[in-house]
């Protein structure tokens, strides 16, 4: 059964954050809130966690996984960003956007798009996620929590625990969550291509 962890949305309790980080470091898979919707998260090098996310969401090898990053310094370790793209992304972060960019060698090969060698990156504007990333000291491997056959992501912690009680190790309750995934912008060709229109304002990239 999944552990249900209640975390204050504005002032996350350090003990709760440490407990979540411990679950991740022990190879666990969590369902956690972000500034757009719930997501599934695992430690960066956790192959089993990656496989479990694929199984829950029925994902193929072409799916772009996302690295949830604490800040721009961390993001820059994992993707290649030129000056023009840097300015565009900087203007929109932290926020409800996922950016697809060429990966650096820091990213495990199994996370990359098999042909493009790209990966998604994102810097959320969310207190709980920021506290967890600071505790972990590395990005979180992540994917939007949309179940197979559904068009909208789950947005209530209790319904996620009910649906995935034996498939995840922890469900994080952290206040109200929007039932809308991020806007996805693909910068891998050097120009902005809007792949998914979601919670983030697309006018910045049109």
Q: What is the DSSP string of 112-152?
A: S-TTT-EEEEE----HHHHHHHHHHSS-EEEEE---TT-SS
Q: What DSSP character marks residue 45?
A: T
Contact, 70 vs 132, CB < 8 A? no
Would you state the pLDDT for residue 152?
82
Would you state the pLDDT for residue 105?
93
Would you state the pLDDT for residue 142?
97
Enter the pTM of the model: 0.95
In this predicted structure, the answer to whether residue 78 has a pLDDT above a threshold of 90 is yes
Would you state the pLDDT for residue 33?
97
Work out the average pLDDT over 21-30.
Answer: 98
Structure tokens at 185: 């912008």
pLDDT tens-digit profile of 142-181? 999 999 988 888 889 999 999 999 999 999 999 989 889 9
Contact, 154 vs 163, CB < 8 A? yes
In this predicted structure, the answer to whether residue 38 has a pLDDT above a threshold of 90 is yes
Work out the average pLDDT over 13-33.
Answer: 98
Contact, 145 vs 182, CB < 8 A? no
Q: State the average pLDDT for the chain.
A: 94
Would you state the pLDDT for residue 112?
87
Determine whether 35 is exposed, middle or buried from the number of CB atoms within 10 Å of its CB (0-12, 13-18, 19+): buried
Which of 44-53, 80-89, 128-137 comes out lowest in average pLDDT? Answer: 80-89
- Please give the domain boundaries of the chain with CATH numbers for all domains: 3-205 (3.90.870.10)
State the pairing for strand pair 66-68/170-173.
unpaired
Instruction: Provide the percentage of residues in the chain whose pLDDT is more than 90.
Output: 83
State the pairing for strand pair 118-122/97-102.
antiparallel
Letter string b/e over residues 116-153, b meaning 16 or more CB atoms within 10 A of that residue's CB: bebbbbbbbebbbbbbbbebbebbbbbbbbbeeeeeeb
CA distance 185 to 11: 31
């Amino acid at each position: 059964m999944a552990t249900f962890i209640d975390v204050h949305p504005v002032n996350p309790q350090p003990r709760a954050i440490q407990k979540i980080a411990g679950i991740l470091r022990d190879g666990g898979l969590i369902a956690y809130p972000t500034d757009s919707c719930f997501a599934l998260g695992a430690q960066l090098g956790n192959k089993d966690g990656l496989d479990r996310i694929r199984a829950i969401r029925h994902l193929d090898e072409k799916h772009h996984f996302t690295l949830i990053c604490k800040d721009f310094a961390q993001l820059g370790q994992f993707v290649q960003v030129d000056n023009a793209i840097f300015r565009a992304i900087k203007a929109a972060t932290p926020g409800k956007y996922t950016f697809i960019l060429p990966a650096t060698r820091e990213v495990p090969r199994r996370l990359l798009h098999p042909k493009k060698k790209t990966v998604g990156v994102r810097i959320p504007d969310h207190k709980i996620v920021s506290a967890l990333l600071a505790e972990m000291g590395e990005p979180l491997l992540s994917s939007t929590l949309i179940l197979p056959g559904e068009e909208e992501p789950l947005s209530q912690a209790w319904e996620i625990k009910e649906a995935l009680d034996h498939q995840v190790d922890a469900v994080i309750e952290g206040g109200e969550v929007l039932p809308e995934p991020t806007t996805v912008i693909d910068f891998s060709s050097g120009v902005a291509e809007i792949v998914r229109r979601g919670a983030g304002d697309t006018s910045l990239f049109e």
